[in-house]
């Protein structure tokens, strides 16, 4: 019985490892790109000062962004009611 339980866990581990390896080869997932906590918003402020120095912002946040080409943490910037800018990937 213990051998059967051990075999089940080994098969589950192989499936998880194979799935992560396939995602890594397809460049969908790379170790270190996913994090549970949001990065500091200061990188968004630096990017904003370099690219839009004269614009007044109402809101600058770090949000989890999922776009057609990129996913992960990114900057969500609101200048006014309908003027929204999303910067992905997260600037350094």
Do 43 and 66 lie in one domain? The reply is yes
Q: Taken in order 31, 37, 42, 45, is the CA torsion positive or negative?
A: positive
Range(s) of the domain holding residue 14? 1-31
Do 45 and 79 lie in one domain? The reply is yes
What pTM value is reported for the model? 0.58
Residue 80: what are its φ and ψ, rounded to 5°?
Answer: -160, -160
Domain count, the chain: 2
Q: Across the chain, what does the average pLDDT equal?
A: 84
Residue positions counted in the chain: 92
Q: In the chain, which ranges are continuous DSSP H helix?
A: 2-25, 42-51
Place of tokens 């990937």: 89
Residues of the chain with pLDDT under 50: none
pLDDT digit string, tens, across residues 81-90: 788 888 888 8
Do 85 and 62 lie in one domain? The reply is yes
């Amino acid at each position: 019985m213990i051998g059967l339980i051990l075999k089940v866990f080994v098969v589950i581990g192989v499936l998880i490892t194979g799935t992560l390896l396939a995602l890594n080869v397809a460049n969908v997932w790379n170790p270190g790109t996913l994090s549970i906590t949001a990065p500091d918003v200061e990188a968004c402020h630096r990017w904003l000062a370099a690219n839009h120095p004269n614009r007044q912002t109402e809101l600058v946040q770090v949000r989890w962004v999922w776009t057609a080409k990129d996913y992960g943490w990114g900057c969500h910037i609101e200048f006014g009611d309908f003027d929204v800018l999303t910067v992905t990937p997260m600037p350094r």
